[in-house]
Amino acid sequence: MKTTHIRLIILLMMSSNLILAQKPSIIPEPAIWENKRGNFSFSGNTDLFVPKGDDQMMSNANFLKMYLERIPNVNIQIRYYQQGQDLPARGIVLAVDPRSNTPERYVMGVTSRRILITGDDFRGVFYGIQSLRQLLPAELEQPALASQLRNVRVSNIYIEDYPRFPYRGMHLDVARHFFDVDFIKKYIDLMVLHKMNTFHWHLTEDQGWRIEIKKYPLLTEIGAWRKETLIGHGGRPPFEYDGKRYGGYYTQDDVREIVAYAADRHITVIPEIEMPGHATAALAAYPHLGCTGGPYEVITRWGVFEDVFCAGNDDVFEFLENVLLEVIELFPSQYIHIGGDECPKTRWKECPKCQARIQEEGLADEYELQSYFIRRIEKFLLSKGRNIIGWDEILEGGLAPEATVMSWRGVRGGIEAAQMGHDVIMTPTSHCYFDYYQADPESQPLGIGGYLPLSRVYEFNPNPLDLTEEQAKHILGGQGNVWTEYMKTSDHVEYMAYPRAIALAEVLWTPNRKHDFDDFTQRLNHHFKRLDALGVNYFRE
Pairing of strands 44-51, 91-96: parallel
Neighbours of 486 (CB within 10 A): 20
The amino acid present at 374, given as its one-letter code, is I
Domains of the chain are: 20-161 (3.30.379.10), 167-533 (3.20.20.80)
- Rounded CA-CA distance 473/419 in Å is 10
Q: Can the peptide bond before residue 276 be classed as cis, meaning omega within 30 degrees of 0?
A: yes
- Rounded CA-CA distance 46/59 in Å is 18
What pLDDT shows up at residue 23? Answer: 76
Please check whether residue 154 is in contact with residue 39, taking contact to mean a CB–CB distance below 8 angstroms: yes
- Rounded CA-CA distance 335/143 in Å is 37
Please check whether residue 511 is in contact with residue 463, taking contact to mean a CB–CB distance below 8 angstroms: no
What pLDDT shows up at residue 396? Answer: 77
Neighbours of 253 (CB within 10 A): 11
Neighbours of 261 (CB within 10 A): 16
> Which residues, in sequence order, are CB contacts of 164 under 8 Å at separation 6+?
507, 508, 509, 510, 511, 512
Helix (H) or strand (E) holding 41: strand 32-41
What pLDDT shows up at residue 305? Answer: 97
The amino acid present at 358, given as its one-letter code, is I
Neighbours of 180 (CB within 10 A): 13
The edge-to-edge listing of strands for the beta sheet with 106-110 is 32-41, 153-161, 106-110, 114-119, 91-96, 44-51, 74-81
> DSSP per residue over 268-307, as a string?
EEEEEEEESSS-HHHHHH-GGGBSS--------S-S--S-
Q: Which of 402, 438, 538, 527 is nearest to 130 (CA)?
A: 527
Give 485-497 pLDDT, tens digit per residue.
Answer: 999 999 999 999 9
Pairing of strands 475-480, 230-231: unpaired
- Rounded CA-CA distance 78/64 in Å is 10
**E strands in 372-493:** 387-391, 404-407, 424-426, 475-480
Please check whether residue 468 is in contact with residue 493, taking contact to mean a CB–CB distance below 8 angstroms: no
Please check whether residue 481 is in contact with residue 448, taking contact to mean a CB–CB distance below 8 angstroms: no
Taking the CA of residue 188 as centre, how many other CA atoms within 13 Å lie in the half-sphere pointing to its CB?
A: 25
User: 252-264 and 314-330 are packed helices; what angle lies between their axes, rounded to 10 degrees?
Assistant: 50
The amino acid present at 402, given as its one-letter code, is E
What pLDDT shows up at residue 14? Answer: 36
Please check whether residue 342 is in contact with residue 325, taking contact to mean a CB–CB distance below 8 angstroms: no
What pLDDT shows up at residue 237? Answer: 87
- Rounded CA-CA distance 22/447 in Å is 39
Phi, psi of 179 (to 5 degrees): -130, 140
The secondary structure of residue 467, as a DSSP letter, is: S
Q: Can the peptide bond before residue 295 be classed as cis, meaning omega within 30 degrees of 0?
A: yes
Q: What is the pLDDT along the chain (541 residues), one digit of tens a residue?
A: 344 443 433 333 333 333 334 678 899 999 999 999 999 999 889 999 999 999 999 999 999 999 999 999 999 999 999 988 899 999 999 999 988 889 999 999 999 999 999 999 999 999 999 999 999 999 999 999 999 998 999 999 999 999 999 999 999 999 999 999 999 999 999 999 999 999 999 999 999 999 999 999 999 999 999 999 999 998 788 999 999 999 999 999 999 999 999 999 999 999 999 999 999 999 999 999 999 999 999 999 999 999 999 999 999 999 999 999 999 999 999 999 999 999 999 999 999 999 999 999 999 999 999 999 999 999 999 999 999 999 999 887 667 778 899 999 999 999 999 999 999 999 999 999 999 999 999 999 999 999 999 999 999 999 998 899 999 999 999 999 999 999 999 999 999 999 999 999 999 999 999 999 999 999 999 999 999 999 999 999 7
> Which residues, in sequence order, are CB contacts of 263 under 8 Å at separation 6+?
269, 332
Neighbours of 94 (CB within 10 A): 28
